[in-house]
A and B are shown apart, each in its own frame.
Chain A
Amino acid sequence: MILLWYILIPAVAAPVAWLLGRSRPALARWTAVAGTTAPLVILAGQWITKASALQATFAARGPGPAGLVAGSWIADVKATWIGSLGISFFLAADGLTIIMLLLTFALGLLAVLASWRGITKNVGVFHLMILWTVAGLAGVFLSLDLFLFYFFFEMMLIPMYFLIAVWGHEKRVYAAIKFFIFTQVSGLLMLVAIVALVVIHGRETGVYTFDFTQLLGTQMAASTAFILMLGFFFAFAVKLPAWPLHTWLPDAHTEAPTAGSVLLAGVLIKIGAYGMLRFMVPLFPDAVHDFRTVALVLAVIGIIYGAVMAYGQSDMKRLVAYTSVSHMGFVLLGVFAWNTLALQGVILQLVCHALSTGALFIMVGGLQDRIHTRDMGRMGGLWQVAPRMGGTAMFFAMASLGLPGLGNFVAEFLILVGVWQVSHWAAVLGAVGLVFATVYALWMMQRAFQGEETHGWSFADLTKREVGMFGAMIAALVLLGFWPQPLITTARQTVTGLQEMTAASSLAQPRPTAEAGDPAAEAAAAPADDASGATSLADDEGAQQ
């Protein structure tokens, strides 16, 4: 039942914030703080108490629904919702869910804190929207019934739409509509694919259900699976976003208020990665395998294109937005590489990117509150004015370019090592993307913070509230950079489980060795492949017990 609270607390706090905010705006802010902190605390408690369950060896009995249900969830809730259609209210959590929920509530809290000064219009409604977005996001990450998942997936768009359209910047209506149409259209494609999948499964077994665990392993023609996979892929690739479906993102991120940008970049686009990991690949592993080359190409283009675009921007917020396109390219690479290294890297990347990019958005928002512009042509030399801000921005710029010692590096390295097992070229080009990341990150620092201050700006350096927020994010990134193990351990069971679900597919087959190396090297290379990698991992854990 505890899972229900994660959705209910922010959902109920939302109208409370609105009602209280009508008379006293500060109360709305504090309600929002409580509405995100409370589930965060409960979640942390659950994380700690379930740590041993998460450490346990994945207790699968083979691929398919049976294996999945057996001990792979640390908690679940199931109730019939629309019985006649096989739709249930099915929530469940595993390690990955915990990580995604941590992100959701932590970034929700940061979003509230980041709007403390900047938002003065309709404060109550603003926090209602934030809390509903958070509730919707929590629902997305908890749902295991595909219809319920789709429900939350769409539901959370509405408060986000209003956040952009009402509290956004100059071109907010355009951006909000663009965001809505992109997500809506791609979401509909996914709905069609879901319904088709349910029907195919129903015809075959006589059981019409939206329960993901039962739909796993549905038999169908390869071409059908490919088309259905594409339906899911479109929805998640738009969310992620993957090149060339990314163009809503720069507009939405740029025009949204800081809180909106933080939630968008920190959590909302992560649904794309989460959906691929949780649903798309396990449901259609063979189709994903067939699609792998295309996806890797799109990912690599996204990494480099996003970075070059970021370099070309003069609007600082837009620059940061394009870096997301680049970083999410790594996520796409990792998902399609589908081995333990890459998947762990993907999950770490989701967390670290949320922190580093979220921080950059808060930074730009803070700057805009102070000097009322995001145009870097009107900045320059701000380090002199606000050295603490300059140093902090430098830190997050370094996180963005993947500096070792910060979590982002661990994530990107794991992804690329994993990708190397599948495609040398994709891994190398991904690494080249890091050179381009250096280019935009340093260019941003130069244009905004270095050089001579000529515009006569004078404003206060970071406030205590901001120092607290940034300090926490810096500490988290450094910690993850030197000791990512807590997250890796938490996600381990999920990653193993995902690979077991696809163990029988072509995704898990050892790839034909491409190098014309000597036999010894080839023999040595074999254990690195996905399936055996997973088993050896399980063995390791058995040994640790």
Chain B
Amino acid sequence: MLGLLWLIPALPAAGFLALVLLNRRLDRTAAAWIGAGSVGLSALVALLVCGSFIVSPPAGDAYHQVLWTWMDVAGFAPNIGFYLDAVSVLWVLVITFVGFLIHLYSTEHMEHDEGFTRFFMYLNLFVASMLVLVLADNLLLLYLGWEGVGLCSYLLISFWQKDPQNVYCGRKAFIVTRVGDTALIAGLFLLFTQVHTLEIQPMLAAAQESFVPGSAVAVAAALLILGGAIGKSAQVPLQTWLPDAMAGPSPVSALIHAATMVTAGVYLIARTNVLFTLAPDARLIVAIVGTVTLLLAGFSALVQHDLKRALAYSTISQIGYMFLALGVSGWEAGVFHFMTHAFFKALLFLAAGVIIEALADEHDIFKMGGLRRELPAVFWTFTIGAAALAALPFVTDGFYSKDLIIATSLGSVDGNLWFYAGAIVGAFVTTLYSFRLVWLVFFGERHTEVSRRPRRRQLVPLWILAVLSVVSGLIWMPPWLAGFHPFETFLDTALPPIEFTGEYAHFAESALGALVTISVVVVGIGIAWLLWMPWRRGTHAFSESPAVRPLAAYWLGGWGFDWVYERVFVIPVKWFARVARNDLVDHVVDGIAWLNVAAWRTLSAGQTGRLRAYVAVAGFGIALVLAVVVLR
């Protein structure tokens, strides 16, 4: 069974190729069958392969498949090869299954779009690249997938390319993430130079052997990798592209900008955890980046008007939680939150897609309202998703994963009160904005007519994801609740276990610690109800109060990062490109040419044809020569 591994990325890639080559000869039905079908098949194969991996794990708890040697230059010989262990099993299952649900949803959501085939072409390429990213056995192949998903992200954000604004958003996403990628590729240079291989497992083993913990090389390698992860996962300071990425179709936001691609940074750090273990300083920076991001983005999510932008900021914030977990050596907690987040955030975006579609492309939550009765299925599924996002205790998967991160941020050996406080405040803010959306969108008066209702291919994915958002957390229960944690056991085969050995470990792990989280969530929901429940009219008074308004405006604009980048990077480069467009260097060349012409003019000006002038000059010259000769 494991031998079929290569088929998992190959099937969507084949789907992409088929769509490219057949393009105009396909009608919509055929394109949908190829597009969704190839991912569905891939999901089936993934189920077979991963199922057999889980049931009868191969020796060493990992399976390695080499297809061919990519290149072989002076000992640098990366493979086109795949590596399957517990971490990649998880990612592969999430990518193929959530991916398939979203493809299915798209067949209906994109039904009337003129770029139907092109959409599935890009989406299939994305799934293939993402699978290569998580299955790659070496960093160079991982980088191939990494850039591939970046390309697809760009293509899909600017999918409706008639509007230049969408194209701008797509370009911004590609360019900003590529800034991070520069760091990543420099990390590849460094690692290859140090340990002579980019194949991940041997590389990590060699690093473990030759890097002194805390040494400059280890920290540099970890930080360069972190640079790439920050860009792709939209963490501070490279988070600015993700809110704009919402210009793409909703299924794209669900698949790429919530469930899978933006978690590639989490995958990368978890995958190279050995390097980060060797570099405590880098780990600290990961945790700080995570904490800062989860807070900044949380507050921004609180004040958005655009439903998808609010969800985008919440994605940034939740990935901040994952980074915090990774930074305090809670690798497994970060990975756990990736999984639960993939389910509930994909659900939220798909539901948002239905809402926006139903209201004739209305994004503003203040123009929604009262959709509870009009779109009951969406109401229930969206509320389940929002509850999971807010970590509603016991009944949602978000609770289990987020509580674990909060506990780890305090109880692990790298944890401290600062991270804990950040995580708790973040959990409170998350609750506020999640239920703000629920109250504003589904309750109160209806502001916009519902013009289109979802059908089966949209509702089935919603319900499946809703069920997953409830039950998927149960595979890792906290010790004070029950001793059921098969997921942890599974992850232990590939990642270092979480160790509660910090100063506050006892409290963090106890039911008392969880009680803090639970009460924060419950209080948060209550306050959200007070503030935003439409018939309480609290919304207006609160957001218009003089203390809140300027702050809200500041948060709405994402804390001014874009403002600064515009002035520090964009404007100077544009200015230089404009000033120098005729090539400054060429002015030198033109100068030389001008000098020649000027010399020619001067000399030819003497050629007047007047004999008198010639004689005068000649006479003057003779006199000069004589004078020199005589006087010497």
Contacts and interface: CB of A to CB of B under 8 A. Distances in A.
Nearest to B182: A431
A136 B151 CA distance: 40
B228 to A, nearest CB: 11
A524 B179 contact: no
B385 interface: no
Contacts of B146: 404
A404 B178 contact: no
B186 A405 contact: no
Contacts of A528: 193, 196
A309 B163 CA distance: 26
B192 interface: yes
Nearest to A535: B74
B211 interface: yes
Contacts of A521: 194, 210-211, 215, 217
Contact of B186 (A312, A344, A428, A446): A428
Given A341-B73, A384-B162, A420-B190, A403 B151 contact: yes
Interface in A280-334: 308-309, 311-313
Contacts of B511: none
Contacts of B163: 451-452
Given A247-B586, A435-B179, A488-B73, A483 B68 contact: yes
B583 interface: yes
Interface string A417-428: 100110010011
Contacts of A410: 71
Contacts of A434: 178, 182, 185
B421 interface: no
A531 to B, nearest CB: 11
A312 B75 contact: no
Interface in A479-536: 482-485, 488, 515-518, 520-521, 524-525, 527-528, 533-534, 536
Interface in A427-474: 427-428, 431-432, 434-435, 438-439, 442-443, 446, 450-452
B234 to A, nearest CB: 17
Contact of B189 (A247, A405, A416): A416
B585 A308 contact: no
Contacts of A115: none
A442 B171 contact: yes
A308 B80 contact: no
Contacts of B577: 308-309, 311-312
Contact of A524 (B71, B76, B196): B196
A404 B583 contact: no
B612 interface: no
A435 B175 contact: yes
Contacts of A525: 193-194
B75 to A, nearest CB: 6
Contacts of A312: 576-578, 580-581
A485 B72 CA distance: 7
A108 interface: no
Interface string A399-414: 0000111000110011
Given A435-B182, A517-B216, A517-B217, A420 B189 contact: yes
B161 A383 contact: yes
B167 interface: yes
A534 to B, nearest CB: 7
Interface string B140-174: 10011011100100110010011110011011001
A204 interface: no
A57 interface: no
Given A404-B143, A515-B216, A450 B161 contact: yes
Nearest to B573: A308
A340 B72 CA distance: 11
B182 A403 contact: no
Interface centre among A246, A344, A416, A517 (most CB of B within 10 A): A517
Chain B interface, >50% SS class: helix
Contacts of B585: 243-244, 246-247
B195 interface: yes
B175 A540 contact: no
B22 interface: no
A339 interface: yes
Contacts of B578: 312
B588 interface: yes
B599 interface: no
A340 B144 contact: no
Given A312-B577, A421-B193, A516 B75 contact: no
Contacts of B72: 485, 488, 540
A518 B215 contact: yes
> Counting chain B CB atoms within 10 Å of each CB, which of A246, A340, A438, A483 scores highest?
A438
A451 B74 contact: no
Interface residues of A, number: 67
Nearest to A421: B193
A207 interface: no
Contacts of A534: 74
Most buried by A among B69, B192, B217, B580: B217
B212 interface: yes
Nearest to B80: A482
Given A341-B74, A534-B74, A536-B74, A450 B186 contact: no
A391 B193 CA distance: 38
A414 B69 CA distance: 15
B15 to A, nearest CB: 16
Q: Which of B69, B190, B576, B586 has the most CB of A within 10 A?
A: B586
B74 A533 contact: yes
Contact of A309 (B140, B194, B580): B580
Nearest to A309: B583
A244 B194 contact: no
A442 B217 contact: no
Interface in A341-395: 341, 344, 381, 383-384, 391, 394
B615 interface: no
Interface string B496-525: 000000000000000000000000000000
B18 to A, nearest CB: 15
A275 interface: no
Contacts of A339: 74
B16 to A, nearest CB: 12
B195 A524 contact: yes
Contacts of A517: 194, 215-217
A319 B325 CA distance: 46
A340 B164 contact: no
A250 interface: yes
A443 B73 CA distance: 34
A446 B581 contact: no
A410 B70 CA distance: 10
Contacts of A87: none
Nearest to A436: B573
Interface string B569-598: 000010011101101011011000000000
Interface of B: 20, 68-76, 80, 140, 143-144, 146-148, 151, 154-155, 158, 161-164, 167-168, 170-171, 174-175, 178-179, 182, 185-186, 188-190, 192-196, 206, 210-212, 215-217, 573, 576-578, 580-581, 583, 585-586, 588-589
12 contacts: A244-B588, A309-B581, A340-B73, A344-B74, A381-B162, A403-B148, A442-B170, A442-B171, A452-B164, A482-B80, A484-B71, A518-B217
The 9 closest A-B pairs by CB, nearest first: A312-B577, A340-B74, A404-B144, A312-B581, A420-B189, A450-B161, A247-B586, A442-B171, A244-B585
Interface of A: 178, 243-244, 246-247, 250, 308-309, 311-313, 339-341, 344, 381, 383-384, 391, 394, 398, 403-405, 409-410, 413-414, 416-417, 420-421, 424, 427-428, 431-432, 434-435, 438-439, 442-443, 446, 450-452, 482-485, 488, 515-518, 520-521, 524-525, 527-528, 533-534, 536-537, 540
Given A484-B70, A488-B72, A521-B211, 18 more contacts: A247-B585, A247-B586, A250-B583, A308-B573, A308-B580, A311-B577, A339-B74, A340-B73, A341-B73, A384-B162, A403-B147, A417-B188, A427-B189, A438-B175, A438-B178, A442-B154, A482-B70, A540-B72
